[in-house]
Amino acid sequence: MTTQTTGDDLALAISAALEAGEMLRGFWSRRGELDVTAKRSGDFVTQADTEADSLLKTMLRGARPNDGWLGEESGETASGSRRWIVDPLDGTTNFLRGIPHWSVSIALEVDGTLTLGVVHDPIKQETFTAATGQGAHLNGVAIGHSQVEEFDRALVGTGFPFGQMAHIDDHAADASRILPHCAGIRRMGAASLDLAYLAAGRLDGFWERILQPWDIAAGLVLLREAGVLVEGWFTDERPEETGSVIAAAPGIFHTLASLLRGDEQA
């Protein structure tokens, strides 16, 4: 029998994110002492990532032992119809360089549908939350998409690929199509926070190719509950399945999507 998302699930996710955030703030204060390893060029992992992941898994699966798990650092544990999708430290490079823009990201998926998202910024003490049918909130206050309707006023977020990623040229071409028409592009280094900022109206649009589920799961819930329009690279795709996402405030979504997809009508 399917267990649906409840208010207790959201409270649990928020509590776990806050506790992991406090742990990470401790590591942040002594980040120069951390051992750093690279999964691949430009993709780093530290004790802070792995210990925050362990704490989150203990809290979430400890309270919901029948739930599944997908974590960036600890992999997948299949179980039942519910699954937590977690990035314990999104923005590890920022974290290591002393750039105060990183987050804890937690989502809950029920029967293949994302139903809950929490993105917590421990440095700025901002907690973005959303659950299906309940709207999106920042520190308990309702948030929504921007009202920008002219694309030349739009500020668009993205995340550039790095190292030997095969789609670097594709993303560079995407940026070259967008830059002449918008007010600017921001690449801030933490996709979960980019999506949270879009949900809060701080950004007007966002795109990126081939992200991982833990990068975007919580943010997708925030976007949808904030009224942001969200599609995959093609209209018949779901970003949570392909990892590629185009999202924007309703007033500029068509222009952003058309430019990215090479529509001559844009």
Tokens of 69: 């798990």
Query: Tens digits of per-residue pLDDT, 153-209?
Result: 999 999 987 666 667 888 889 999 999 999 999 999 999 999 999 999 999 999 999
Residue appearing with tokens 């210990």: 51
- Contact (CB, 8 A) for 56 and 105: no
Task: Tell me where in the chain the CATH 3.40.190.80 domain(s) lie.
Answer: 151-260
Q: How far apart are CA 142 and CA 114, in angstroms?
A: 20
Round to the nearest angstrom and report the end-to-end CA distance of the chain.
47
DSSP code at position 22: H
pLDDT band for 41, please (50, 70, 90 cuts): low
pTM for the whole structure? 0.93
**What's the CATH superfamily of 7-143?**
Fructose-1,6-Bisphosphatase, subunit A, domain 1 (3.30.540.10)
Query: Tens digits of per-residue pLDDT, 200-255?
Result: 999 999 999 999 999 999 999 999 999 999 999 999 999 999 999 999 999 999 99
For position 250, what pLDDT does the model report?
98
Q: How far apart are CA 182 and CA 207, in angstroms?
A: 13
Q: Is domain 151-260 in CATH 3.40.50.10470, yes or no?
A: no
Residue 240: count of CB within 10 angstroms of its CB: 21
Task: Tell me where in the chain the CATH 3.30.540.10 domain(s) lie.
Answer: 7-143
Query: Tens digits of per-residue pLDDT, 108-154?
Result: 999 999 999 999 999 999 999 999 999 999 999 999 999 999 999 99
Instruction: Give the residues across from 261 on adjacent strands.
Output: none
Helices (H), 143-249: 168-178, 191-199, 213-225, 239-242
Smallest Cα–Cα separation from 56: which of 71, 68, 44?
71
Cβ-Cβ contacts under 8 Å for 144 (sequence gap 6 or more): 136, 199, 200, 201, 226, 227
Residue appearing with tokens 């039942």: 80
